[in-house]
A and B are shown apart, each in its own frame.
Chain A
Amino acid sequence: MSKPYVRTNFHEARWDEPMIYELSTPGTRGILVPEVEDEIVDAVGDVAAALPDSLKRSAPLLLPEVDQKHVLAHYIHLTQETMGSNLSNDLSEGTCTMKYNPRLSEAMSMNPDFAEIHPEQDDSTVQGTLEIFYKFEQIMKEVSGMDRFSFQPGGGNHAVYCASSVMRAYHASRKDDKRDTIITTIFSHPCDAAAPCTAGYNVVTLYPDEQGIPDYEGLKKAVAEIGDHLAGFFMTNPEDIGIYNPNIDKFVELVHSVGGLCYYDQANANAFLGVVRAREAGVDMCHFNVHKTFGTPHGGEGPANGAFGCREFLSKFLPVPTIEFDGEKYFRDYDRPDSFGKVRGYIGTAGVILRAYSWTMMHGAEGLRMCANISVLNNNYLEKMLLSIKGLGEAFLGNGITRQEQCRYTWEELKNDTGVGTDDINKRVGDFGIPWYWASHHPWVIPEPMTLEPCETYSKCDLEEYYLSLKLVAEEAYDNPEVVLSAPHRQASHDLANPEDLDDPEKWATTWRAFLRKHGDKYLKVK
């Protein structure tokens, strides 16, 4: 078996790259546009020049002017200053389900029969894409036990928003307009609070009991207080801390008893593929972050897909179009009068669905179950090692509950002992080739948090390397805290000189023009 080691001689690429604007030389071209045929020019002349002055661009367009080789080099340099999960030990990003994304999927996504398709083409000319969508819907139905799916939401948060829209349409259809409040839990993703809020709902948040499980007594109290204003309950399970809520059916029963709907946020479904399903939990709706569990790249934060599933009684409210099959051909059905409308253009992020279909077909039911088994095994194997590190603990440590696919750890003891906290550790791990880890969603209920999720694509050796790297950094915190506190040392960039300026309207800059206006040439790399 391969043996782990800590990358003590690691150094991330650091090209000291200027801004693309600083590479500009007037008159340079990176690519040419197809020339207009002479016959067209003869027939119509210079159409743009004939526009009225009020329509013509008045200010010079200040885009950079760079030749093709230097554009390529610039962006390759910048990509090299980024740690994607395909090239690093990225079990770091807990709650994000970072796993290997097969290159085969990328190759297939470039097929012109997939990439060069216009969404307004006649159904008869997009049978392949529609077939992929239809077949992946059948797969998702079986994985979840739900009756229908829409792949229109562009990510998990968007699926929660879609669910809020379906919930609103459902209650409106029953003329039950007073239902204006939802309940969620603090260890559910922030979107389970924020997206329903955007859709017009008040939000009540439950905290866990002393075991780390959402508090059933708290739910009873909230339900009693909200009464017939309760529209629904949004929850993750297992929650971000990796603890499965064994009372989920009781929660669902209670919410249903007062007329509310139940929503399962299954953004990270790695723990339970083939083990548990939304149907058996009794919920009415759910979503999967297809870009997480089903092996597709996260794209640096998208494109993604939030596959939204629901039971039959809610399916008439789904966004249009749905994808149907009449036995001979696939088609997009817009004729759905009870639909709440749409949340995104067209049918969804087809590239994500193509890759996920491919990934799922490679694994099959047995392979999906293997993903679940190995992800929970990896997590427990890593947990055992990590909890031996001095200074590191875990949320609800010692409650006797075996964690599922991820854990929320805490560096509280280390912080108390050394003054080195989780943000400091995080800046140091990158010096050993470990990507930035996910601390916790806000607010930090668990002090000095660190959330890790070792998916099935990490090897035993990866887990051990991760453990050894964290152990080394924790030891540094005790023996030589300055080396941790002054990190990063061997990464693509350093600490901001004044990070508080990011919150200062006089100093922040989201564009190069704003930066130049506010700071002049004071900080320019190329002067």
Chain B
Amino acid sequence: MKPYDDNHLDKDLRSLRDFKLSEQETSESFQAIQTRVRKDKNREKVRFYFSKTMAAFSTVIVLLVVGWFLYDVLSPEFQQATPQSASNMMDGIELEISLEKKTYSLDEEFIATVKITNHNDTERVVYVPTPIDVEDTISAVMVEKKEQLLWRILPPHSNEALPNIQGRSFYDYVKVTLAVNETIEQKFYWNKELIDQASQQTINTGQGEYLISTLILLDEITSQEDYYEPEKQLISKLEFTVNYGKKQKDVFSKDDCPDTDDPCINAVTANHAVRVFSGTSVLEIENENGQIRMTHGDFFGEIDEYLDTLEVTSNGDIMLDYINKVPEHLEVYFLDKDLERMEEVSLTKNTFNAPNKSGTYMFEIYGKYDNGTVHHYLEVKVK
């Protein structure tokens, strides 16, 4: 083992900032900045005079048009239900991704469409970074949950063979050819599952803000290397939202759980969703005094007072939606009237099945998180 001195860690970190340009580099950079600022200022003046003249004519027209569209376009319903698309272009290749709308409910089918257009007057080849165990597609498409380490590469929606896909090239890349002025299109399907980066487990995902992005490479790849760092990459991305649909009432949202120390979970069935109650929690919490271990969430009196009852059909799926924190490990127990554990319930991903017989049942959901443990409780009514 090589020694380092923890007491000197701060000092060593500070010394990292002492990279300095030489006097010549400093002087050259200053000249370059001055020249660029002067040029940009001149350009800005020209643009200003031109835009002033144009603005007078265009204002009248714009006001008329804007007034006409304003009511429809600004209404949230319109935006949520309107098709969304984003595209970018490089070297005459255009990459577009589109969704049917901005907001999806959990039980709706999610399909994204990717289009690639070759605007050049010559045939072009593009490359798609694709792991060896993933199906060949015209573009890499990834969904990620915003501000959480959850993501997934999407498979194609159908197995239709596209003649433009020329098979594998180097580096697990798929080679795709585009004829002159050709546009190709492929649909991608998301089953609402994501991979948790920390545990590498697949989980069913729930409500939240998401990002979908698509990527192709325009480099000519001609040799095999251990690691290839692309130069020309084209990415298009869109934001979208998933909610519980009509069953969304009094549940946790991301805004309710801004503190990343305390985990929030919703329980979701086909027709209903409720908050899962957090009971005794032993968590490492960061505050002004540093890192401390806190026990909280103990309840007094009857636990029923704290719980919303989740309605579910016989043997129906109950999905646990992790709002702000994915547990490292989770166990679900069926409890008796005295809240004693009866038996462990089988959990697949983050979903378990309700009992067969009608009645009201209590479950304990014991979660181990990176900062401690929480005993969550859920009451379920089987109809």
Please indicate whether A and B come from the same complex rather than being unrelated chains: no
Residue ranges of B at the interface with A (Cβ–Cβ < 8 Å): none
Residue ranges of A at the interface with B (Cβ–Cβ < 8 Å): none
